[in-house]
C-alpha cells in the first residue's frame, strides 16, 4: 500500500480563536496546524503519538517554528490544511504545513516546524526506530529550498 505524502484536512475557523477583526489570531494558527497534523498522521499512517507516549514512553517535542502569514483566515471560514514531511534525520523531523482557502486557490499561511524525538523516561533526544525511519522514507516529500523565506516565495509563486 502506498501512503500519501501530502495529507489534507478541512476545518472551520472558530469564533473563539479570532481577534476583533474576525481574523484567526496569529498564535492560533499553530494550534490549527498541530491539531491537523496529529489527526492526519493517526488517520493516514496509523501513527498515534499519544499511544506511543503511553506504551513506549517516546514522543516528539517542538524545537523550532517558522510561520508566514500570507492572507487572513476569517471567523467561520472553512480552510484546508495540508502537511508533509520535508526532512528527517535519526532524531528529528521537519514538517511543512500550509493553510489554504477551501478551494485551495488562496494561501493563508505557511508553517515549518522541527520536532526532536525524545525518550520521556530520560528526557533526552532519542534515535528513531527502524520502523519509524522506514515510514519516514516512504512518505518524505522534500522541499528543495532550505531557507524558509525562499520556500515561501516558491509556494506563493507556484499557484
The answer as to whether 115 is a domain residue is: yes
pLDDT digits (tens, 9 = 90+) for 57-87: 999 999 999 999 999 999 999 999 999 999 9
The answer as to whether 149 is a domain residue is: no
CA within 13 Å, CB half, 80: 12
Range of the domain at 43: 7-142
The answer as to whether 70 is a domain residue is: yes
The count of domains in the chain is 1
pTM here?
A: 0.95
- Cβ–Cβ under 8 Å, residues 126 and 118: yes
SS3 134: helix
The answer as to whether 1 is a domain residue is: no
The answer as to whether 157 is a domain residue is: no
pLDDT digits (tens, 9 = 90+) for 4-33: 999 999 999 999 999 999 999 999 999 999
The answer as to whether 89 is a domain residue is: yes
The dihedral sign for the CA sequence 138, 136, 35, 42: positive
Place of cell 517516546: 58
From CA 94, how far away is CA 145, in angstroms rounded?
13
Amino acid at each position: 500500500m502506498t501512503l500519501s505524502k501530502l495529507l489534507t484536512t478541512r476545518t472551520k475557523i472558530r469564533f473563539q480563536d479570532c481577534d476583533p477583526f474576525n481574523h484567526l489570531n496569529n498564535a492560533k494558527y499553530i494550534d490549527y496546524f498541530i491539531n491537523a497534523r496529529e489527526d492526519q498522521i493517526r488517520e493516514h499512517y496509523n501513527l498515534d503519538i499519544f499511544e506511543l507516549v503511553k506504551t513506549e514512553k517516546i514522543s516528539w517535542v517542538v524545537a523550532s517554528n517558522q510561520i508566514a502569514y500570507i492572507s487572513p483566515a476569517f471567523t467561520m471560514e472553512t480552510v484546508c490544511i495540508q502537511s508533509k514531511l520535508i526532512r528527517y534525520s535519526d532524531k528529528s523531523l521537519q514538517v511543512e504545513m500550509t493553510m489554504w482557502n477551501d478551494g485551495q486557490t488562496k494561501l493563508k499561511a505557511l508553517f515549518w516546524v522541527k520536532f526532536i524525538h525524545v525518550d520521556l523516561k530520560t528526557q533526552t533526544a532519542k534515535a528513531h526506530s527502524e520502523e519509524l525511519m522506514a515510514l519516514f522514507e516512504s512518505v518524505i516529500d522534500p522541499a528543495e529550498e532550505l531557507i524558509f523565506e525562499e520556500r515561501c516565495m516558491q509556494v506563493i509563486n507556484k499557484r
